[in-house]
Amino acid sequence: MRWPLRRQILLPLVVVAVVSLAAVGAINARLAARQTREQIEQRLRGVVDVLSTTNFPLSDSVLRQMRELSSAEFVLTGGSGEILASSIENPPSQFPATLATSAPLDRLGAQIAWNGAEYFHHATPLPARDVNGSSRVLHVLFPVSEYQRTWREAVVPPLIVGVITIGAVAIVAQLIAGRLSRAAAQLQQEVLRIATGDFAPAALPETNDEIRDLSLAVNQTAEMLADYEQQVRRTEQMRTVALLGAGLAHEMRNAATGCRMALDLHAELCDAEDNESLFVAKRQLRLMESQLQRFLRAGKPLDDIEKREVSFSALVDDSLSLVQPSVRHARVELAWNPPPLDFLVMADPEALGQVVLNLLINAIEAVQQNGDGVPRTIDISLQQTVREEAELSVLDSGPGPKNSVNPGLFDPFVTSKAEGVGLGLAVARQIVEAHGGSIEWSRTGEITTFRVVIPLFRKGAAGV
């Protein structure tokens, strides 16, 4: 059976409040009854003591004055029960003889019905006035209705306050339970929304309490799930590329390799080693092989690549030799000043060379979009960072990536090129991260910069 949060909070509070009120009410009623009786008895004892010791005659007027002081009725009878004086208007002439008992006034006495009313009755003998005087009995009659009224005045107000308190507790508990129920329902909706794949952050409650902390935890979970989903999607995309294109790329690379070997053989047979055209053709075939190799690496793990000591400057020089025909054809001003000291890194030269080559090709294609009169410049630099890392920077004066692709520029299949497939930078990031480095880009003014950072090789370093 469903047990709503509202009932879990409201019912225990109400039950505890009702039980507490009942217990307090019972104790208070008992104490109030005892206190009321003691106060009445004490007041009546004082009146009886005064009437017993007074020297003036006990007349009707005197007894009526005592009634005003004590709220009790007084009847003075003779030895045979005849009524000598009374505070009651027009009393009967005879008082019942069976009620003419005497005892110390330490309690209100028995409850009787006389003269059309209910009373607590007590009889007290009075001393005789002279030697021959007859005995007299003073009957004290306290109205039951007056006793009940006094008792209600002592008991009812605390009970009313208790009932009002229970109502207030119930209202406050209902408000708190309602707020918690609404917050729980909202969190349930947010969790269900996340379960459907919507990982947008939820609005946080204004009150800084545990519900807000729980909402923050839900938002953090949604953010982690969004990142995980993006990683899974990227992995699946790269795996799809590897499955669909590996065969085709392998055959095309074999064809390009065979064509390059045929050109080498032709150059030997025709004694054309210094022929510029053949040299350019062989470099373009080598570039084609590198691009096909880059495609074959897409989606494959690079954790087990074979690393060795490599000159970063030599990798840049080798990649520049492959793109020089494109640089001249596009009329690009390319600046490359090798550092005075060679930077050695632990890397797979073929894989890291593909990263450098991809950045250079992207820069050339970017500056080709500049119109006439706009400079087409590419600056390449290699320097050491304060953390003993080699930082390669490729700056170009092209228009830069479009805003639509900026957030996922390094994701697979993200490209703004009409004929691009969006794998170059995705594979580059995969290779760089496999070498313990990082790759990033920025746009400052009219210049786009791509930076690749790779840890430097130190002989004798741990793990080398």
With beta carbons less than 8 A apart as the criterion, state whether 201 and 223 touch.
yes
Cα dihedral 199, 204, 210, 211 sign: negative
CATH number of 5-154: 3.30.450.20
Per-residue pLDDT tens digits for 142-195:
888 888 888 888 888 888 887 888 888 888 878 887 877 888 888 888 888 888
pLDDT score of 450:
93
**Every domain of the chain and the residues it spans:** 5-154, 202-300, 304-455
CATH 3.30.565.10 fits 304-455, yes or no: yes
- The CA distance from 408 to 234, in Å, is 11
Q: Residues 6 or more apart from 363 whose CB is under 8 A from it?
A: 378, 394, 395, 396, 398, 448, 450
Per-residue pLDDT tens digits for 377-413:
999 999 998 888 999 999 999 888 887 777 778 777 7
Per-residue pLDDT tens digits for 22-50:
888 788 778 877 888 888 888 888 888 88
Q: Name the DSSP letter for residue 131.
A: T
**pTM for the model:** 0.47
